[in-house]
Structures are given as structure tokens and as C-alpha cells.
Structure 1
Amino acid sequence: MSSPTQISLDTIHLGDCLEWLRTVPDNSVDCIVTSPPYNIGKEYEVRRALKIYLEEQTAVLAECARVLKSSGSLFWQVGSYSANGSLIPLDVRFFPILEDLGLVPRNRMIWVRQHGLHARNKFSARYETILWFTKSDDYIFNLDAIRVPQKYQNKKSWRGENKGELTCNPLGKNPGDVWIFQNVKHNHEEQTIHPAAFPEDMIARIVLATTNAGGVVLDPYMGTGTVAVTSRDLDRRYIGAEIDPSYHAVALRRIAGTPDENGYFPNLKTLRDYCETHSEDPAKYRFDAQTAKVASGRAKSRRFSELHHLQELEDRLRLEEGAFGDRLRSISEGLPDIERYRAKELDEVPTLFETEAV
């Protein structure tokens, strides 16, 4: 094994992450955030027996723990492993591995997905998880940098000594541990050739909360460069590795932010950013995942905030719970035409998560 050496910041290594991690110096990284292969047979991974997969991941995590500063944080975003009809949440298996490495659990965030794996013999999967562990109890957490609006932003006390004063933090509230950032799929301006990329807003929340300006952010499974681009835009440094040459090339193109020799960008967001900076017509260029005849400017984007999607989720759940309660009451009251009721119910339930054009 090679000894850790000084590495260049703001670079993405092309190759195996475990070999590369062994070259990273001890206690040199402020934050590690990634989504490792789920071992479910995606195009960018080789499916292995779960035991072997977890052994390999343990080796990677051991190196991550070594390079993390004492004030540092690690975010490990995972889904589920399915085999022979069973479903194993991977965070359940990763949790004790991280504890055994001496890391301290801080949060288990639920990332609600607008769409997910459909199922017939069990409930459909509609969320993934993000495990947050720290190296010690002396860690960075910049809450003010990530606050979100209060439900009643200007609510004031109406009695007592504090009458007329604000009863909440004017900067906003803690966003909590249920996140509903939009999934980067079709018609999302950040979409690249990678089938499972992070949304930049979600990485921004993690980076702003757990690092300071100039801090070093590491992603051992860099993919098409979301962590690198987001860290750079937030005045942080980045390092990482990616084993797939095609993803690595896209990451470098996103960082460069310029069109290739054929006038193509890695995604629509990079195209729009370039055109806004250079006062160019977006229709002059194309991007890798383009399906429309021409690229549009950001004025035509229909991007929505996390709060928008959270409100839609709450409305949807309230609707589903109410409809189910009505159905139970109709059964208990002995109403004969349940099938007609179901048909009427489905006709009245709007489609909540429609595809959003960009």
C-alpha cells in the first residue's frame, strides 16, 4: 500500500476510488458526500453478493474515516437492495459499519422521491436515506446558512412580556430531516447521461451546513461531477474519483462550463449558465440529453423549490388519507357499490407529480 501524499485540490481522479483514497493524507477533508453503487445492477455497477459488496464498502469507508478531519462530516446516501422478493434498506447495513469505524451518528435524512420503484407484493418505494456521521463531537454545523422560511414567518406573541415580538427566528427555521428535492430525471435542467445524479440544491444544503468557505469536499464516487460543481460554486475546494471514463469526461465538461467542439454541453443547466454569462442565444447550442428541437433559456424553466414539492407531498398524503378514510366508512356502513365509489374516487384524484417541462 502506498503512503498518503499531498494531492492536488479541484481535481477528479479517473480510476478506482479505493486505490486513490489511500493516497489522500490523513485528516485533510472537511466533508465527504456521495452515493455509492447500490449493488442493484445499474449500468454503472457490477452486482455482487451483498456480503462481498458490504466488505468492499467497508474498506472504502475506512479510508474515508481516516482522511476526514476531526471536525468533519460524512454523508452516505443509499437506497435498498432487493433479492428474491425481499427488500433490504442499505442504510440499516451501513449504520453499524460506520459506528464500528468510530464515527458518530447525527441524522438519518429521508429523501422523499416523487417517483420510485413500483411494487405489487409490497408497498412501493418512495424514499431513500442519507446517513450523516461526524468524526467527533466537535463538528461544523452552520444552521443559519441553510434555514428555510417559517410556516408563519412574521408570527408575533400576543400576550405576556414578549407581546408584539417575533416568536420565531427571523432568518427561518431548521429544514429538518425530511427532504424532497426534485429527482434529476427527464426534463430536469441538471440531467446528464448519468441515470442517478444528485440534485445540486441538495448537495448545496450539505456543503453549506457542514463546511466553511475554502473547506475541502470529497466524493469518492463522483459520477458526472455534481459535488465538484456545487462545491466550486459555493467557494469550496473539491476532490474525488470516478472509475467510468464517460462520466469522468462529463464531470470535466461541467466544471469547464464551455461547449465542446460540436457545440454541445453536458446538460441544459451548463448551457443556460454559459449563455447567460456570454449573452448568447441558447438555441445555438445543444446538450447531451436533449430531446427538444432547440434549447430554451432559463426564463422558460419550470423549476420548483423544495418547499413547493413538500407542500405538494403534504397535499397528496392528506388527499390519500382522506380518500382511504372515506372508503373505510363506506365499507363499515355497508354501502353496496364499492367499485363505483372507487371509480369515482380515482376520477376525482388529480395527478400530483406531473412531468415538469424545462
Structure 2
Amino acid sequence: YIDRLTEVFRELRRVLRSDGTLWLNIADTYCGTGNKGYHADPKNPKGRNGQQIARNNRVSGCKQKDLIGIPWLLAFALRADGWYLRSDIIWQKENPMPESVKDRPTRCYEHIFLLTKSKKYFYDAAAIAEPLAPTTAARYRTGRSAGQKYADEIPGQGKVQGLNRARSGSYYDEALMPTMRNRRDVWLINTVPYKGGHFAAFPPKLAETCIKAGCPKGGVVLDPFFGSGTTGAAARQLDRHYIGIEINAEYCALARARIGGTEK
């Protein structure tokens, strides 16, 4: 599985622009009995390609019930194959799929790896910046007193423009105050219902965030696992072009309907 995906992404790297980015969302799974099973979604019990799934039998180095570590196995394989591994983003969900397990916590996150073709690449940090917490903004606005070294009195705080100087009045000019900060690598994005039959659909906000940061307006977004077209719909809404590749003809029909405006 890892070897095959590495081959697929090698071809994607070949056609990617030199300043392009890869945003890879992949979930983990557990080593099971080896018997065939079904996905947990009652609308699509046979998974992405309409087939039964194998429960990870005979995974080298794994015992039954072991967490396999597929995301990191793939990330390391891609790095060894030439990709630059730049970030491990945690996609946290407050409404994860229920699990019946009683001997471990319920899974509520997935990995999103940011990988690049080159050392220098397009990344628009401002497009996905997040607001400062109100308390942080208030501390920055009052700045530091003459006897303080830092605006928030925490040693090691980096310099913030307009803050690390003694204030002349009660407050600094609000025009100098930062209101946004660089996006952190834990993203709280809940899943959203989709009435189509695609099991692995992810929320549009997730696709939009990756596209805003990793692709300039007018650029092209390529999704080799297009599914129901979430990425294409997001790209179109954000004034980007898209190319979608999907092996399942039924999902292609879903994507055409969705992007054409008949499915919301």
C-alpha cells in the first residue's frame, strides 16, 4: 500500500510546478484479524471503490490490535523519495465518527501533511492567518512598561512590531497593533453532512484552507483522488482551476452534479 502510493505521488511530483505544494490527508488504522470487513458508514458499507476491505492482515512488524502508523509510514516514504516534508497538521474533529471500543480513546483527528517539491515554494500565510486571542491583543495594545522587557512578561517572547519599546501613553496606536497570527498546526474543522454516497468526503473548509495557502489565484489544483468533488468545488469557488482524477464512475457523476450546482 505504501509502495503503491509512493509511486502515485512520484508521478504527481513530476507534473507539479517547482513551487507547488502537496497537502496529503490520510487516516490511520489498526491491525486486525485478517478477515474481510466493511466500512462503518451505513450509506456506503463497501468503501471507496465498492469493495470489501481487508482488516490489515499480516502487516509486517504489527500485532493484532496495533495502531499501524500509516500516515507517518507514508510521510517518511515520500520524504525518502524526494519530497520535502514541511509540516504535520492535525485535523481535529469535535464530531468524529463514533467507535464502539472500550479499551482506548475514540479517534478524533487525522493528519494533513504539507509536502513540497522544492525548498522554496508558494505559501500564502496571510490567506489563512487566524485572529489573535482577545486577551493577547489587549496585552499587545498596552505594550510594556519601562521596567518590563516583554509585553506579556513571558521571557523568550519574540519581538512584535510596535510593542517592544516603552509606551509613551496609556496605549499604542491601534493601527500598529497586530490582529492576526500565523496559523497553528492544529485545525479544528468539524465534518459536515453530505447526502451523496461518498464515504471519504471531507469538509469544504478543509479543502479551502489548503488551497488558499498553497495555490495562487488563477493556479491549478490537482486532486488524484477526486471522490465527490469537494476539492474541485472549493477550487472553483476560490477562483482556481482544478483537475480531478477518480477511478469510480459513480463518484464522477456525483462530482459533476456537485460542481455544476445541482448538489450542495
Do the two structures share a fold, i.e. TM-score over 0.5? yes
Q: Secondary structure at the match of 2:73?
A: helix
What is the CA distance between 1:123 and its match in structure 2? 2.7
1:95 aligned residue: 75
**Which residue among 128, 153, 169 is the counterpart of 2:178?**
169
Q: Secondary structure at the match of 1:110?
A: strand
Does residue 1:243 correspond to 2:247, yes or no?
yes
Question: Alpha-carbon deviations, 1:313-358, whole Å to 9, x = none?
Answer: xxxxxxxxxxxxxxxxxxxxxxxxxxxxxxxxxxxxxxxxxxxxxx
2:110 aligned residue: 128
Q: Distance in 1 between matches of 2:69 and 2:166?
A: 47
Question: Alpha-carbon deviations, 1:44-75, whole Å to 9, x = none?
Answer: xxxxxxxxx12221211111111111111111
**Which residue among 193, 200, 206 is the counterpart of 2:197?**
193
| 1:22-37 equivalences in 2 (<5 Å) | none
**Which residue among 5, 11, 22 is the counterpart of 1:74?**
22
Q: Distance in 1 between matches of 2:166 and 2:239?
A: 40
| 1:98-247 equivalences in 2 (<5 Å) | 98-114=78-94, 115-116=96-97, 117-152=99-134, 154-155=137-138, 156=141, 157-160=143-146, 161=165, 163=167, 164-165=171-172, 169-170=178-179, 172-184=180-192, 188=193, 190-247=194-251
Q: Distance in 2 between matches of 1:81 and 1:242?
A: 23
Question: Alpha-carbon deviations, 1:15-67, whole Å to 9, x = none?
Answer: xxxxxxxxxxxxxxxxxxxxxxxxxxxxxxxxxxxxxx122212111111111
Q: Secondary structure at the match of 1:201?
A: helix
What is the CA distance between 1:245 and its match in structure 2? 1.3
2:12 aligned residue: 64
- Give percent identity, aligned residues only: 32
Q: Distance in 2 between matches of 1:162 and 1:202?
A: 41
Q: Distance in 2 between matches of 1:211 and 1:58?
A: 22
When the two structures are aligned, how many residues end up with a matched partner? 203
TM-score (norm 1): 0.54
Structure with bigger helix share is 1
Q: Distance in 2 between matches of 1:127 and 1:94?
A: 17
C-alpha contact (below 8 Å) 2:88/2:111 kept by paired residues: yes
Question: Alpha-carbon deviations, 1:153-197, whole Å to 9, x = none?
Answer: 742015353522358523x1122000110113xxx3x55321221
Write the letter of the residue equivalent to 1:74: L
Write the letter of the residue equivalent to 2:246: E
Unaligned runs of 5+ in 1: 1-52, 259-265, 271-358
| 1:269-288 equivalences in 2 (<5 Å) | 270=264
C-alpha contact (below 8 Å) 1:182/1:199 kept by paired residues: yes
Question: Alpha-carbon deviations, 1:103-147, whole Å to 9, x = none?
Answer: 111110111122244422333222110111111111111111111
Unaligned runs of 5+ in 2: 32-63, 147-164
| Structure 2 CA distance for partners of 1:92 and 1:146, relative to 1, 3 Å | same
Q: Distance in 1 between matches of 2:166 and 2:228?
A: 51
Q: Distance in 2 between matches of 1:87 and 1:168?
A: 46
